Amino acid sequence: MTTRRCPRCQATYPAPARYCVKDGSPLVEAESTATFAPAPGRAPIPLSGVHTEEYAVSPEEIDRCATLSGKLLDRRYQVGKRLGEGGMSYVYRAQDVQSGAPVAVKILLPRLSRDPAAVERLRREASIATRLDHPNVCPILRLGEADGMIYLVMPYLEGEPLSEHEARRGPFPLTEGIPLLVEICHGLQHAHEMQIIHRDLKPENIMLVPEPPSPGETEPRHRAVVMDFGLAKERRAGPEVAKLTATGIVLGTPEFMSPEQIRGKPLDGRSDVYALGILAFELFTGQLPFAGKSAQETMIARLRGAPTKLRDLRSEMPAKLEAAITRCLAVDVAERFQSMDELAHAFDGVIATGVLGRLFRRS
């Protein structure tokens, strides 16, 4: 019997298994020496409809993408420090030599750039994100190709991902977390109004950008910017996009998937509402609302619909906030908030009334 293994965690599975249930990586034949670019943090479930051998990336190809610092890309972008990496790409800080502006450049791994489905995904990402125009959403400036590599150019945002901020500081206080959640709602509402669903909302995809203090404030604040619409999907997508998510393998990050996303069902903006509920729970507690020793176990827990209550972990949190997060996490989409505007209003209501609201307005 053929055995396959996960190149990240080395877990083995019998054929015809194609993906690791622990971290979502595409499996390779057990005897294969192919490697896969490591991804820090949570691992996204890979693109469906593409054979695993097409994801086998040689060390030479990985090295090519991983060593662009100091080089001039496409005679236009002076590549600087590498900012991060994922299963399908590397991200660098760079300077546009034509405008002098700092930018972020996302490089698709060379082997993947030769795969039509992966290229279609990237072109779709660029097409979608160039239409977004909101202070709480990061747009795409350009899609290009050079030296056999396909790349995306985005504005460079000074700041840090929400995931790193959480790891450094721990759970957020209410008066810092609620305004960020409201801004995320506003950014996603803008996308939803354009018939675009994010589908991979998580702390790693939220950038906190420092902003000058408002009048009367002494401390700088942060603006939340939703990043990486690489898994975004147009609600009215055509058959060429539908092929990318057929076969029952879904896109997203296991810990933040909605029940309908786990099941591979049709999605709308209420799936992002669910993911934002999980993000909000983690923001205030440092934990996920569903227990499990693996991504597979947390998925099963979400299908059963029994999340931990917010105030079981932080009893000082308002009942209104617990109720809002619990409603986000309803298994039935009809029981959730029906729009991001509706959810933003609920979050606003947590700090806009009563003694807490008066204290917040004075701070």
Reported for 295-299, long-range contacts at CB under 8 A and 24+ positions apart, including other chains, are 295/21, 295/22, 295/23, 295/24, 295/254, 295/255, 296/21, 296/22, 296/254, 298/254, 298/255, 299/254, 299/257, 299/262
C-alpha 296/C-alpha 43 separation (Å) is 13
Nearest to 64 by CA among 105, 110, 106: 110
Out of 23, 200, 228, 272, which one is annotated catalytic? 200
Told to judge if 200 belongs to the known catalytic residues of this protein, a careful annotator would answer yes
C-alpha 24/C-alpha 19 separation (Å) is 6
C-alpha 363/C-alpha 241 separation (Å) is 47
φ, ψ of residue 232 to 5 degrees: the values are -60, 150
C-alpha 243/C-alpha 120 separation (Å) is 10
Nearest to 360 by CA among 179, 180, 183: 179
Distance of CA 360 to the CA centre of its chain: 30
Catalytic residue positions, numbered: 200
